[in-house]
Amino acid sequence: MRCAEIHPNLAAFVLDGLEPEEAVEVLRHLASCPRCQDEVRELQKVNRALEAAPPPADPPSHLKDGILAQVRTAAEPSSSNEEEREGSASLRERQRSLEAPRSDRSKNLRIILPSAAAAAIVAMLALGVLFGVLREEPPVATVQLVPSPQEEAGLEGYWGVAEIRPQPSGNLQVKLKLNNFEDPKPNSYYELWFVSGEKRISAGSFTSVGEGETRVLLNVPPEARNYHTLLITEERIESDPTLTQEIALKGEVP
Amino acid sequence: MMSQRADEISDEQCMTRLTGPEVEAAISALYDRYSRTVYGVGLKILGDHSSAEELVQDVFLKVWRSSSTFDSSRGGFSTWLYRVTRSCALDLYRKRASRIHQVLDGDPYIAATRDSSAGPQEEVDESWLSWRVSRALEMLDPPHREVIELAYFEGLSQREISVRTGMPLGTVKTRTASAFKKLRGELANQDTSQEAIR
């Protein structure tokens, strides 16, 4: 066989992807063709490099959503008040300050500050950064939770909200604040669901204190971002929680 | 003036947009181009999907937060991103090792098996080659990448690839040969020196 006929098979040959009779043809040709031998040596280098390649795999799609949500949250100013707007806008600056090489930060301080005042101002800056980091980010959504009709009569003075915040892990944190939400019946508990049509994701279970304010922190995976209805159902212990149980509260993500 | 779309601009231009109003589009474009490589190298170094996912998240948040440390005059974006990935992977590796150590200390079987594994530095040294090969594969267009993935990673013969994809056998062979040629070119064009990643 001529080189032109063998050439298209050489890559498949080093990949061991030819049929046995084709491989024999290639071997027969290589025995008498130095040029094709050189070509095979080059192709074998590529084949060996592939040994180092990571297995082809796509990261799960929710990862990108989680990263973009964090970028969005930090980049967009909050509309609730001026102080929060400043906090949000300065988040990048705080992050940059924390990420910047230590030597750059200290060099800047040496240039700007007289030594006597430096310690005090550095301490104040450190406290500012600390409290800035510790301060809770504003929620991306606040959902009003409304009692279902059968619960309404027994919930005098009731109000409830769910604040939703994206977390670094991509999960969504849900902070429930329920006022005068009666405690569940004996052998029962409450469960928070994110619902979309027939699909649902549980955010976890909890109980309430009845009179006064009940605060609960729950988490849902990032996929819950596309589930726009929140339901709190009352579930019985030792039975499978399903959406057919009694719905106590309901809310729609704006 | 109409601005260029983020997916049409270079990596370096995307980096300059991380401090402006187009930050989300810029980080999204960089993610689309590099997340498979970061994830794949994470799987190689850290060995499990959960850690590799954590790595992807850490790396792209660090790219966003540390964009000012990128200096295009010192090297390309890919090399800089590799350094970020290596650093984050080592952090995760150590964090995980310390967790395992705390939980399993005193278990003689685990202690014996743990010592036999490669350390983080050895894993990371090998990861530079993994990174370069992964980048070379990602630079192939999807049809060429597909035949290489099916042939190399799934071990299919050319005939089996033809059956699987519905492509004529001749096209599979031509595409495989062409993909190898492109891979060779990509690998030759990369900065292979260890200095590049220090």
Number of cross-chain residue pairs from A and B with Cβ atoms under 8 Å apart: 136
pLDDT of residue B33: 95
In this structure, is residue B4 part of a structural domain? no
> In what helix (H) or strand (E) does residue B3 lie, and over which residues does it extend?
none
How many Å is the maximal CA-CA distance in chain B?
68
Q: Domain check: are B93 and B169 in the same one?
A: no
| Cα separation, B191 vs B179, whole angstroms | 20
Q: Which residue of B56, B62, B134 is in closest CB contact with A63?
A: B56
From the list B129, B130, B93, B128, the residue with the least C-alpha distance to B114 is: B93
The one-digit pLDDT tens for each residue of chain A (254 residues) are: 688 889 889 999 999 999 999 999 999 999 999 999 999 999 999 999 999 899 888 999 889 999 998 888 876 654 443 333 333 333 334 344 434 343 343 333 333 344 444 454 445 444 444 444 444 556 778 888 877 765 555 566 667 888 888 877 778 888 888 877 777 887 788 888 998 888 888 888 888 777 777 788 888 888 888 888 898 888 877 666 555 567 788 888 87
C-beta of residue A127 within 8 angstroms of C-beta of residue A135:
no
Gyration radius (Cα) of chain B, Å: 20
| B133–A99 CB contact, under 8 Å | no
> What is the domain-level CATH number for residue B89?
1.10.1740.10
Number of domains making up chain B: 2
Nearest-neighbour CA in chain A from B129: distance (Å): 6
Q: Domain check: are B85 and B145 in the same one?
A: no
Q: Domain check: are B157 and B87 in the same one?
A: no
Q: pTM here? A: 0.56
Give domain limits for chain A: 3-50, 79-134, 141-252
Q: Which residue of B61, B151, B156 is in closest CB contact with A67?
A: B61
Q: Which residue of B24, B145, B173 is in closest CB contact with A12?
A: B173
Last residue of a domain, one of B130, B155, B170: B130
Q: Domain check: are B78 and B32 in the same one?
A: yes
% chain B with pLDDT above 90: 51
- Domain of B75 in residue numbering reads as 9-130
Sequence-ordered strand ranges (E) for chain B:
none
Q: Spell out the CATH class of A141-252.
A: mainly beta
Answer yes or no: is the ipTM higher than 0.90.
no
